[in-house]
Structures are given as structure tokens and as C-alpha cells.
């Protein structure tokens, strides 16, 4: 059967995108574990919120937002090719975004939990929460009627346990108890907002590159407007969701990922590679130049997701992807990055595994791990070893059909 170019794009996985995702998750684990290490060079620590600049850890979260954006057109084209309606896809977007927001809120509230008011040790609550997440969102194999019933029962158990944990959660004090708070939404929650905005925009813009570029420009304008107080009249702004940083700033990065995929998917990812690389370099340079022009206005800040930070991040992500594209897709050297495959194919599990490990260590009374190699180069080495350990555990869990999908 003769396959159209469009169907080839839909059906085939782009290896460089999977590796980019896996590398990003690996670095996210590394920099998160590195937070507990002291006496290391400043460029291995996040830049303070009120200082203008960016370090290596600061680029990791934008890289994940960018790869989320790159995946959106490919995932939606596949759904449309299978005959799904826009209404069904919008429902999928809403459910997935809600799941990310809930996970983000749960994770960001772990540190706020009052053990006495909740009636449960913080680390035990955290461990049970993550186990429930795995049960609820694991993609169990659909083989055999009896097994399907067992798997469905496990999902119900996970959902019920998660609800119970949310109901009993308390923070604050005995005099002023509080419940789960949105706070800054957590990493997964921020991804949820960016995914929601970018997915809806792409769904209606389709493959219109001009519309996506205009949407990126609008996001930057929204940030500028929010910074000048144009949205202060909105009740939820600042207290619930920071429209400039949380929505517009992150969507700028995610939509840029969408744009790069649209540029590369024209006639197929492997068609006219030299032209695509040149377009990618032009995209990176344009983003860097515009970011440089906006730099004096708001500075460069990951916490506030300033336009300069977003666009510098986009530039770095585009160039990073071009390198992977050249090595993996054009030179066919993907085996060099095979170790990152588990994280690329099972990113959510890989991301939450460190928190699960920390919770288990605390529950069984081995918290002294965090005191092991806490300084300097030995601390950095510990974080590297831990990150590779997470990749290995992810590989083993994937082998036994534990793979999370929202």
C-alpha cells in the first residue's frame, strides 16, 4: 500500500524528539537532586528570582515545555488520522491538563502537610499518593477479560485512595487549618497550563505557521500587558494564576516547540534536512535577537518567566534539537543515547520516581542518604549516579508494564 507523506509523519516516531525528551527528564532529575548539594559553582544552581541571568538548571524546565510543544502537532495529527473529532480531542486536552494540574498541586503541597492535623506522617502520605498515581494512570496491557477486570479494579483503588488522601490533607495550624493550595502549581501544574493554552491554539490554528508565530507574539504582548497592570482587574490574576509568567511566558516556549515541529514536518522530518537546519538556525537567532532587545525591559528570570528568558530558552532548545537531529536522524547514531530511552518513552514515571525514592528512604528511616556526599564535586557525583539509577529503575518498571500516561 502506498503511504502518503502526511501519514508517514503521523505513523513514525521521531527518534530525536524522544531522545530530547529523555535527556531533558534526566537533567531535570539531576538538577533537582543537586538542590541538596552545597559548595558548588553558581552555574549549577538556579539563579535567584530577583537577579537577572540564567544558569544550566534554569534551562531544564523550559526544555521540557519546549518538547511538550514539539509533541503536540504529532500527537494531534495521529488522533485526527484515527478519525477523532475536535470535540473529543478538546475533551482529551481538558482531562490531561486537569490531571497535570492535580498532580502539580499534590506534589507542591507535600512540604506544607501538617502531620498532626492530617493524622499521617508526611512521607507516608507522599508515598501513598504516588502509589495511587501509578495505579490510576498506568497503561495496563489489554489482554484477557479477567486481567482487564483486575487492572480496572486497581485503577479504582488508586482513584479512591487519591481522593481519601486529598480529603484528609491538612496544612497550617490547629487554630487556622488549611487545605490543598494551588501555590505556584508545581512543575507538572505549570506544564498543564502551558499544554492547555498551546493545544487549544494549535487545534484551531492547525498547521498555519503564520498563526502560530502570531500567537507567540500575542503571548509576549500579554506578558508585557500583565507586567504593566493591564490584567489587575481580573480576580484570579496574582492570587490564583500569574497570567504573565505562568500562562503567557510558558506558552511562548511551548508554542515555539509547536512551531519547530511544523517547520520540520513539512514534507517529512527527513526531507530537505539542510533547508530545515537553516530554518532552525534562523529561528534560534531570531529568538535570541528579540530576547536581547527585550532583555533591558524585564531582565532574565526563570521565576518570573520574562520574555527575554523565554526567548533565550527557545534559542537554546532549538539549537540543542538541531544537534540531536543531525546526530540521531541524519547520521543514524541514536544508539549513542539509548540509555535515555526509558525516560523518553516513560517521562511521567521517570519524573516522579525520585520523589518516590525520597519518600521510601524517609519512611524506612534512612534519611541520612541526603547527608551523603552533600558538598562539592562528590555531591555532584552523587546526583549524577542517582539520576542514572532512576533511568535504570524506569527501565525495569517499564519492562514489567508500568508506564504512566495521562
pLDDT tens-digit series, residues 200-209: 999 999 899 9
Residue 191, pLDDT > 60, answer: yes
Q: Which residue has the higher pLDDT, 377 or 232?
A: 377
Query: How confident is the model at residue 323, as a pLDDT?
Result: 96
355 φ/ψ angles, rounded to the nearest 5 degrees: -65, -35
Asked whether residue 384 is assigned to any structural domain, the reply reads yes
Asked whether residue 154 is assigned to any structural domain, the reply reads no
Rounded mean pLDDT of 71-79? Answer: 92
Structural domain count of the chain: 1
Mean pLDDT of the chain: 90
* Residue whose C-alpha is closest to residue 215's, from 226, 225, 204: 204
Asked whether residue 116 is assigned to any structural domain, the reply reads no
Residues 6+ apart with CB under 8 A from 49: 301, 303, 304
Which pairs count as long-range contacts for 295-301, CB under 8 Å and 24+ apart, including other chains?
295/52, 297/224, 298/223, 298/227, 299/52, 300/47, 300/52, 300/53, 300/54, 301/47, 301/49, 301/50, 301/51, 301/52
Query: How confident is the model at residue 319, as a pLDDT?
Result: 97
Query: 284: domain range?
Result: 10-109+181-399
Considering the entire predicted model, what is its pTM? 0.92
Q: Are strands 177-178 and 171-172 parallel, antiparallel or unpaired?
A: antiparallel
Cβ contact 350:188 at 8 Å: no
Query: How confident is the model at residue 232, as a pLDDT?
Result: 80
* Residue whose C-alpha is closest to residue 169's, from 157, 186, 160, 181: 181
CB atoms near residue 225 (< 10 Å) = 15
Q: DSSP labels for 204-220?
A: HHTT-HHHHHHHHHHHH
Cβ contact 321:20 at 8 Å: yes
Residue % of the chain over a pLDDT of 70: 94
Rounded mean pLDDT of 166-174? Answer: 95
Residue 10, pLDDT > 50, answer: no
Query: How confident is the model at residue 143, as a pLDDT?
Result: 74
Query: How confident is the model at residue 240, as a pLDDT?
Result: 78
CB atoms near residue 183 (< 10 Å) = 13
Asked whether residue 297 is assigned to any structural domain, the reply reads yes
For 13-68, the pLDDT digits (tens) are: 688 999 999 999 999 999 999 998 889 988 889 998 888 999 999 999 999 999 99
Residues 6+ apart with CB under 8 A from 193: 97, 101, 185, 241, 246, 247, 250, 251
For 257-297, the pLDDT digits (tens) are: 999 999 998 777 778 889 999 999 999 999 999 999 999 99
Query: How confident is the model at residue 11, as a pLDDT?
Result: 40
Asked whether residue 173 is assigned to any structural domain, the reply reads no
Asked whether residue 175 is assigned to any structural domain, the reply reads no
Residue 4, pLDDT > 60, answer: no
For 355-393, the pLDDT digits (tens) are: 999 899 888 877 665 666 788 898 999 999 999 999 999
Query: How confident is the model at residue 13, as a pLDDT?
Result: 64
Query: How confident is the model at residue 9, as a pLDDT?
Result: 41
Quick one: the chain helix, strand, coil %, rounded to 5? 75, 5, 25
Rounded mean pLDDT of 304-312? Answer: 96
All three cell numbers of 221, joined, read: 504582548
Q: Which residue has the higher pLDDT, 102 or 372?
A: 102
Q: Which residue has the higher pLDDT, 48 or 157?
A: 157
Query: How confident is the model at residue 2, as a pLDDT?
Result: 37
**CA–CA separation, 303 vs 319, rounded Å?**
23
**CA–CA separation, 231 vs 352, rounded Å?**
34
Residue % of the chain over a pLDDT of 90: 73
Kindly report the CA angle at 181 between 177 and 183, in degrees rounded to 5? 130
Task: Check residue 48 and report its DSSP letter.
Answer: P
Query: How confident is the model at residue 400, as a pLDDT?
Result: 92
Q: How confident is the model at residue 7 (pLDDT cuts 50, 70, 90)?
A: very low
Query: How confident is the model at residue 268, as a pLDDT?
Result: 75
Amino acid at each position: 500500500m502506498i503511504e502518503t507523506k502526511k501519514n508517514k509523519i503521523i505513523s513514525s516516531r521521531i527518534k530525536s524528539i524522544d531522545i530530547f525528551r529523555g535527556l531533558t527528564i534526566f537533567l531535570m532529575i539531576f538538577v533537582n537532586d543537586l538542590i541538596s548539594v552545597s559548595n558548588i559553582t553558581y552555574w549549577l544552581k538556579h539563579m535567584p528570582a530577583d537577579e537577572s541571568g540564567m544558569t544550566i538548571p534554569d534551562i531544564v524546565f523550559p526544555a521540557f515545555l519546549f518538547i511538550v510543544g514539539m509533541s503536540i502537532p504529532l500527537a494531534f495529527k495521529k488522533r485526527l488520522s484515527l478519525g477523532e473529532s475536535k470535540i473529543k480531542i478538546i475533551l482529551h486536552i481538558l482531562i490531561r491538563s486537569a490531571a497535570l494540574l492535580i498532580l502539580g498541586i499534590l506534589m507542591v503541597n507535600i512540604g506544607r502537610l501538617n502531620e498532626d492535623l492530617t493524622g499521617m506522617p508526611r512521607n507516608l502520605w507522599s508515598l501513598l499518593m504516588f502509589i495511587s498515581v501509578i495505579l490510576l494512570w498506568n497503561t495496563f496491557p489489554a489482554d484477557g477479560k479477567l486481567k482487564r477486570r483486575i487492572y480496572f479494579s486497581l485503577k479504582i483503588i488508586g482513584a479512591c485512595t487519591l481522593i481519601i488522601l486529598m480529603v484528609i490533607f491538612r496544612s497550617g495550624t490547629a487554630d487556622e487549618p488549611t487545605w490543598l493550595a494551588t501555590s505556584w502549581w508545581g512543575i507538572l501544574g505549570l506544564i498543564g497550563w502551558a499544554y492547555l493554552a498551546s493545544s487549544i491554539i494549535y487545534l484551531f490554528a492547525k498547521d498555519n505557521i503564520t498563526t502560530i508565530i502570531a500567537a507567540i507574539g500575542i503571548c509576549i504582548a500579554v506578558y508585557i500587558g500583565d507586567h504593566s497592570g493591564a490584567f489587575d482587574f481580573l480576580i484570579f490574576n496574582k492570587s490564583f494564576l500569574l497570567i504573565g509568567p505562568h500562562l503567557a511566558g510558558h506558552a511562548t516556549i511551548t508554542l515555539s516547540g509547536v512551531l519547530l515541529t511544523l517547520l520540520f514536518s513539512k514534507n517529512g522530518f527527513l526531507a530537505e534536512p539542510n533547508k530545515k537546519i537553516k530554518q532552525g538556525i534562523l529561528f534560534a537567532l531570531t529568538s535570541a535577537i528579540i530576547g536581547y532587545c527585550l532583555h533591558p525591559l524585564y531582565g532574565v528570570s526563570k521565576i518570573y518567566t520574562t520574555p527575554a528568558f523565554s526567548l533565550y530558552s527557545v534559542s537554546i532548545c532549538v539549537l540543542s534539537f538541531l544537534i540531536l537531529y543531525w546526530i540521531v536522524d541524519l547520521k543514524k547514531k541514536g544508539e549513542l543515547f539509548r540509555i535515555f530511552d526509558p525516560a523518553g518513552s516513560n517521562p511521567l514515571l521517570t519524573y516522579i520516581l525520585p520523589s518516590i525514592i525520597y519518600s521510601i528512604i524517609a519512611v524506612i528511616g534512612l534519611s541520612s542518604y541526603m547527608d551523603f556526599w552533600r558538598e562539592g564535586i562528590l555531591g555532584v557525583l552523587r546526583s549524577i549516579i542517582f539520576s542514572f539509577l532512576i533511568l535504570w529503575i524506569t527501565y525495569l518498571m517499564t519492562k514489567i508494564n508500568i508506564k504512566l500516561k495521562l
